[in-house]
A and B are shown apart, each in its own frame.
Chain A
């Protein structure tokens, strides 16, 4: 019986509900030491002296001189050191590592770091250090703007956002077989593998990275695990003992990556009838102290900056700059939530300027199949921007409520948005991901480097393989993501695990079926021994992309969605309370509807936090509220009722028609909520829309 499209039991449910699932902090090894990171307390400066005025017996101490390979976190650029040699570029930058078998002894050790402070830059608008800039040009924006009836301008800002996975970053490094094995909470085992190879100077086969059960990632465990893994590995190699390095909440919030803050400016020309004529967009992102993933975050942000709209003349100038704050990095949505927030609030203001209904204005301009995006990509038959818009307006009773709420303390607003699945442009071709299937006693085993971080990787992959092979779901097993035994399926990011890796698995299954004939793979295994089929990513036909001009097919395909937010304002406290949320999201095909609904509901809740609550307060380059006491994420009482509608317009690019689902849900809530606040007569152009910002807007608006 086919299982794709059904809610089969999660492969990992039993372990998770009984508390027997093993997260990294639940593991211990004989003779294991604990570790601590000594960090900078200033945002910029030079180290003059490092003193360790304590009895070092029993302690392992590591600094940059103990790095056998290169002192660099291998990623896009290698500008970030694993341990500061001399120049400090942000608060909480790692300088010295300590290990000891007794945690209390670790905390007692006092390390003195004498520094010469230098002037730091915190305002991205003042920074002259450009980490990446790019331009997307379609048509002739200047000429088109010169002849349009109406021009609307605006500037929109978003702040940092902390991923706040409930399990902090952590790893255990174990010296083994003349090399090192790292067990950790992570999304990308092969990123960590590469980083260790470069830092340790070891050949690939002496490094093994194993993903342990991971208590949430959301992008926050994409690149940072490379840092913490290398730190633990250095201590383990020096002490010749297993070393556990698990951050507490404060350290995790202070030192690890966050969502890039952004400032986006729009200048848009429209006809009086509401047709978009020209869009001139400037995107600035604050990358923090090192390059990390800023170029690709910026790239995705810029490509999504003109939204799911057709417009003949578009210019997007985007740049990411350095400041003296901890590096910003991957977070669900990866640049797109920032730029689509700006666009969707701007679209609301344009509709307002024209005196036009906001849904009608979007309907006029939404992409239809055959239209082209800002990069000139012709969207295919699976472009359903109009359908999701119409369905969301109907489901939420948008127009009736807009009238009914007018003049009350309630407001309703919507946002139309899209999200490209997989790596941007030629990224998937360069990655050349691989996946494999091996026959086993039970049936078949999936061999992928894709991480289960809660989204349901193991379950969803097993469903795809079961149906592609025509065997029961229970006969599909999943190997642990262990770099020594699975192929590199690329990172678990970019909403690519279903569409891209699932697609490769589907091809593996088809070939395996051809090889084993009508036999059940378990029967074939018994008769002939193990059979392994490995396949590599193949780019879809007809996809073209030019990295230099940013023209072409930025993604194989896009998912489409429309959110409607209903909010209520407390007239005494200016607190905005979301009361109901409608999310209509077309993700091609829901391989497992419960998992998909979970992604949409969870991503929406994170988006609501982004819109209203989650404010990272930076003081002198450091997060001043690095605690869950005062960095607030939505609780049960902050999360409204939700009406989630899954639309399935299949794409021929993904398995069974599926597209990416993980990230898109976080793109829409912030603009939908801010547009609902706008319906209350409050002009908000910066998130989070805290009571302080609402009060300020109320003073201006009244």
Chain B
């Protein structure tokens, strides 16, 4: 399979129905995308597929062929969302953080609190009660 991940072409030798999550973590050696539940409920594995947030645990890798995949590693480290998450205490244990940031990337510019709550409704955080995450996104 040929994948385009974070702007790089990658040749991956994996069965086509392999979860995109495993292909990213194991074959592409990009472990920033996390597995929390494996059933599309927690959102820890959220990545962008052609700009749309998806749960990488539910997407067969073949489905990502010829699409542009973006993971947390594709953001570098100085993205305004990353800086805001760090500054506002939005990352506590950190396991949901990559997925949260990827989901937040799909928000429109200058989102309202309601926009943020709806956009993140599929991403579970067990540490923060979400408010620090809202503060980070609204001020990013």
Residue numbers of A with Cβ under 8 A of B are 7, 9-10, 12-23, 25-26, 163-168, 213-218, 248-249, 453-456, 594-595, 597-598, 601-606, 627-629, 633-637, 639, 642
Contacts and interface: CB of A to CB of B under 8 A. Distances in A.
Interface size class of chain B, counting residues whose CB lies under 8 Å from the partner chain = 35 or more
Given A19-B32, A454-B127, A594-B88, A167 B95 contact: yes
Given A19-B98, A166-B95, A215 B121 contact: no
B131 interface: yes
Contacts of A603: 129
Contacts of A16: 85-86, 91, 94, 97
Given A9-B87, A13-B86, A249 B38 contact: yes
12 contacts: A13-B85, A17-B94, A19-B98, A166-B126, A214-B93, A454-B94, A594-B88, A598-B89, A598-B128, A628-B39, A633-B124, A636-B130
B129 A215 contact: no
A454 B91 CA distance: 8
A19 B73 contact: yes
Interface string B46-89: 00000000000000000000000001110111000011011111
Contacts of B132: 594, 597-598, 601
Contact of A639 (B25, B42, B129): B129
Nearest to A641: B131
A285 to B, nearest CB: 23
A594 B44 contact: no
A642 B129 contact: yes
Contacts of A167: 34, 36, 93, 95
B67 to A, nearest CB: 20
Contacts of A168: 36
Nearest to A452: B93
B36 A166 contact: yes
A168 B116 CA distance: 27
Given A17-B86, A628-B124, A216 B117 contact: no
A13 B81 CA distance: 12
Contact of B93 (A215, A249, A639): A215
Contacts of B125: 166, 602
Given A13-B86, A636-B116, 9 more contacts: A17-B83, A17-B91, A25-B31, A165-B126, A166-B124, A167-B93, A249-B37, A598-B127, A627-B39
A406 B88 CA distance: 38
A225 to B, nearest CB: 15
A606 B32 CA distance: 26
A482 B122 CA distance: 36
Nearest to A604: B129
A249 B118 CA distance: 25
A18 B94 CA distance: 10
A442 B135 CA distance: 33
A473 B130 CA distance: 27
B34 A637 contact: no
A627 B92 CA distance: 23
Contacts of B23: none
Interface hub of A19, A23, A628 (most chain B Cβ within 10 A): A19
Contacts of B5: none
Contacts of B20: none
A106 to B, nearest CB: 15
Contacts of A217: 93
B1 to A, nearest CB: 18
A602 B127 contact: yes
Given A14-B77, A167-B93, A456-B92, A215 B85 contact: no
Contacts of B87: 9, 13
Given A629-B39, A639-B129, A19 B72 contact: yes
Nearest to A459: B89
Given A15-B94, A17-B97, A636-B120, A23 B127 contact: no
Interface hub of B86, B126, B129 (most chain A Cβ within 10 A): B129
Given A166-B44, A605-B129, A19 B93 contact: no
| A contact face: mostly helix, strand, loop, or mixed | loop
B101 interface: yes
Nearest to B86: A13
Contacts of A9: 86-87
Given A456-B92, A635-B121, A637-B121, A17 B127 contact: no
Contacts of B96: 166, 215
Interface hub of B34, B75, B83 (most chain A Cβ within 10 A): B34
Top 3 closest pairs, chain A to chain B, by CB: A19-B32, A215-B95, A454-B93
A16 B100 CA distance: 11
Contacts of A606: 126, 129
A215 B34 CA distance: 10
Nearest to A246: B35
B89 A602 contact: no
B94 A633 contact: no
Nearest to B97: A16
Contact of A216 (B76, B77, B95, B120): B95
B127 A19 contact: no
Given A17-B101, A637-B117, A213 B39 contact: no
A23 B120 contact: no
Contacts of B86: 9-10, 13-14, 16-17
Interface hub of B77, B85, B92, B94 (most chain A Cβ within 10 A): B94
Contacts of A249: 36-39
Contact of A20 (B32, B121, B130, B131): B32
A635 B37 contact: no
Nearest to B120: A636
Contacts of B39: 249, 627-629
Nearest to A26: B31
A10 B128 CA distance: 15
Interface hub of B71, B89, B96, B98 (most chain A Cβ within 10 A): B89
A454 B92 contact: yes
A639 B89 contact: no
A163 B127 CA distance: 11
A165 B93 contact: yes
A144 B82 CA distance: 61
Contact of A602 (B83, B88, B124, B128): B128
B48 to A, nearest CB: 14
A493 to B, nearest CB: 16
Interface hub of A167, A214, A248, A629 (most chain B Cβ within 10 A): A167
Contacts of B44: 166
A19 B33 contact: yes
B3 to A, nearest CB: 18
Nearest to B81: A17
Contacts of A163: 126
A166 B77 contact: no
Nearest to A164: B126
A21 B94 contact: yes
A21 B118 CA distance: 27
A599 to B, nearest CB: 9
Contacts of A637: 117-118, 121
